[in-house]
Structure 1
Amino acid sequence: MKSKKILVHLLIAAIVLNLVGIVAGLASFNLNHSFDFVNQYGETIKMWGYGLYKSDSYFKAPIFIGSDFTMLIVAIPLLLLSIYRFRRQGSQKNLVLLMAATATLLYYNFSQAFGVTYNQLHLFYIATLSLTFYSLILCFTLIEPEKVAPSLSEFPLTKTLKCFLVIAGLSLFIAWLPDIVASLVSGKPLSMLQVYTTELTYVLDMGIVSPFIFITLFLLVRSNSWGYVLLPVLLVLCSIVGIMVIFQSIFQVSAGISVPIPALLTKVLIFVLLSGVSFKLSRSYFRGFNEGTLLD
């Protein structure tokens, strides 16, 4: 199928370009070039000062590097495995896994393109965002929801799954909304906004991911086949984001940044716990998925 070949070529190109940015990002982990800078809010901020993230804050750069590391050892290998399985047998099951891995890469590419301070790889960010965005759209055009749902007869919509989706959707607001409310009440910028004009993670998680979770739950409750297509996307994304948060914290601690206990509980711990449950549900989902029919 021509569309299948186009999808594979788009994703391979996205992986190659992403690896350039990932390697450059990891090579930026150097603690000896920081400097102080007065930001647009009149605050003195410590800057990273080295490599790809030299114009990013000392607090944020380790987070970006932790994301790069997670993509290198977890997300990219998963995407490569998904491509291999999809090329070998273009079944709906393999397409669903490929779509979930692609969506995870898209989340990362959005964060890089809009969250990182302008740097030498800006054109790479534009290219990777475009490639993964249209790859995900192509995945949706190839998927056949009416064949996915019957293949998951051993993966029923249980109360546990419903509760998990509700908790996951609300947790994103619990993690980020208090910071925004406190900022609006005080009339000051977000406490860790530093040299940035907005906090992209808040926008993505509360504006896109959380509604996506509740839409998926609604479709599942209504026995709509699309619910079973969207579910693995958020399960895989949530699983990898939890791992990403761990590595982000590790790189921050390695850089000498102390993360307050309340932040660890409301941000790091929440995502790690959700990741563990998501991983378990993901395994159940794909184990209960019959191979189904091959793509034409």
Structure 2
Amino acid sequence: MKFRKAILLLSVLILGLSLFAASYGVFSNASNNRNLEFISWSGEEVELYGDGLYKNDSVSGAEQEIAQDIVTLALGIPFLLLSLLLVGGGSIRGRFLLAGTLGYFLYTYASYSFLSTYNSFFLVYVFVMSASFFAFLLTLMSFDLQTLKNHFQARTPVKFIGGLLIFIGGAVLLMWLSRILPSLVTDKVPYGLDHYTTLVIQALDIGFIVPGGIVAGILLIKRNAFGYLLAPVFVIKGVTLLTAITMMSIRMRIAGVETSLVEIVLFTIFNMVIFYALFLILKNIKEPTSRTGNRKMTRKKRKEKWIS
């Protein structure tokens, strides 16, 4: 695997910093002291979380950030560790899992860097965002597009997986437009803006995630090499995104923030389907013939293989 040493060093940095930041984000909110009221720039009264790392964020924003931290601890970090172990053994599945997981960290900490109210972890967010960006690019560049298609079984259900990516992309687009367009017509701030100045998550999703997922789905259906490269990345992103949305919705509902029970049920169903799509992708990837020998490598040889 090309760029192996650089990717490993960046991944270790991501693991350490994200574990520290996510753990502190979850466990620094013990007292749950929500008694701060804030008048936003638009004149709306916003209740601030008032506790822990996210004390200056709105209740809605803080609950979403804590939910994201939980997903990072429960899925993001284990996925990254597992993918590094698999890649160390020469696994193509591991490399796809690594690319998708690095995409998750890039998206998550870009949103923290630009959306979260400034706190003492700002530089940590920026460092993880930067490390994730370069590790993600290097991992994508490590694939050989000319032979990539050969790593997938001919029976890979490209229409189902590609169609699912297109459907989820369209659903996310409609969900955000249903919040944004009415505010443009009525000249009022959109629901959920709270005391923030712009819609960072919606900008990231509409600008990158939605078109990227739709394009990946179309290219996969056409069995294009770029489709085989991008689809697993966006499926893994879909797994983490939908898991985070489900967790966010549940926490917000418990905290008394207005949420739709129908949306919670739908996103839970979508989450289960996207997990199934990830299973199908990993199942249909063909490992190199030399993989058998790699399995017999000692730990020392695996380490040497990583850092060579």
Question: TM-score w.r.t. structure 1 length?
Answer: 0.91
User: After superposition, what is the alpha-carbon deviation per residue over 1:66-106, rounded to whole angstroms, capped at 9, x for unaligned?
Assistant: 1101110111111111111112x133332111111111111
Contact 1:96/1:143, CA 8 A, preserved across alignment: no
- 1:167 and 1:4 map into 2 onto residues whose CA distance is 35
Q: 1:268 to 1:146 in 2, by over 3 A?
A: farther
- SS in structure 2 at match of 1:37: strand
Counterpart for residue 53 of structure 1: 54
Deviation at 1:137, TM superposition (A): 0.7
In the TM superposition, 1:236-247 aligns within 5 A as 236-247=236-247
Post-superposition offset of 1:33: 3.8
Q: Is structure 2 residue 113 aligned with structure 1 residue 118? A: no
Q: Identify the residue that residue 36 of structure 1 maps to in structure 2.
A: 37
Decide whether aligned partners of structure 1 residues 40 and 155 sit closer, same or farther in structure 2, where only a CA change above 3 A counts.
farther
**Which amino acid in 1 is paired with 2:223?**
S
Separation (CA, whole Å) in 2 of partners of 1:230 and 1:2: 18
| Residue in 1 that maps onto 2:284 | 288
Number of the residue aligned with 1:256: 256
* Alpha-carbon distance in 1 for matches of 2:26, 2:44: 28
User: Which residue does the alignment assign to 1:205?
Assistant: 205
Q: CA deviation at 1:59?
A: 1.6
**Distance (Å, rounded) in 2 between the aligned partners of 1:202 and 1:269:** 21
Amino acid at match of 1:235: V
Following superposition, the deviation at residue 46 of structure 1 comes to: 0.6
Query: What residue is the counterpart of 1:218 in the other structure?
Result: 218
Aligned partners of 2:116, 2:289: CA distance in 1, in Å? Answer: 42
Alpha-carbon distance change, 272 to 145 in structure 1, aligned in 2, over 3 angstroms: farther
1:238, 1:274 within 8 Å by CA — same for their partners in 2? no
Deviates more, 1:228-237 or 1:27-36: 27-36
In structure 1, list runs of 5 or more residues that go unmatched.
none
State the Cα distance separating 1:279 from its structure 2 match: 0.9
Distance 1:210 1:243, change over 3 A: same
Inter-partner Cα distance in structure 1 for 2:283 and 2:111: 31
Q: 1:79 to 1:229 in 2, by over 3 A?
A: same
Give 1:161 deviation, angstroms: 3.0
Partner of 2:78: 77
Contact 1:17 1:124 (8 Å CA) reproduced: yes
8 A contact 1:92–1:147 mirrored in 2: no
Residue 279 of structure 1 is matched in structure 2 by 275
The aligned counterpart of 2:297 is none
In the alignment, which residue of structure 2 is the partner of 1:161? 161
Show the counterpart of 1:180.
180
Percent identity between the two aligned chains: 28
Residue-by-residue CA offset, 1:237-259 (whole Å, 9 max, x unaligned): 11122211222123223323342
* 1:171 aligned partner: 171
State how far apart, in whole Å, the 1-side matches of 2:240 and 2:249 are.
14
* 2:15–2:77 Cα contact (<8 Å) kept: yes
Aligned amino acid, residue 271 of structure 1: F
Contact 2:48/2:58, CA 8 A, preserved across alignment? yes
Query: Deviation string for 1:211-232 (max 9, x for gaps)?
Result: 0012112322443211111111
Please report the TM-score for the alignment, with normalisation by the length of structure 2.
Answer: 0.88
Q: How does 1:100-111 map to 2 (within 5 A)?
A: 100-111=100-111
RMSD: 2.0
For residue 192 of structure 1, report the CA deviation from its aligned partner.
1.6
| Contact 1:109–1:128 (8 Å) recurs in 2 | yes
Partner SS state of residue 153, structure 1: coil
Separation in 1, partners of 2:268, 2:135: 28
Q: Hey, what's the Cα distance between the residues in 2 that align with 1:93 and 1:195?
A: 42
CA distance in 2, matches of 1:289, 1:2: 20
Question: Which residue is 2:10 aligned to?
Answer: 10
- One-letter identity of the residue aligned with 1:234: F
Residues in 1 aligned to 2:267 and 2:207: alpha-carbon distance in whole angstroms:
17
* Cα drift, residue 205 of structure 1: 1.4
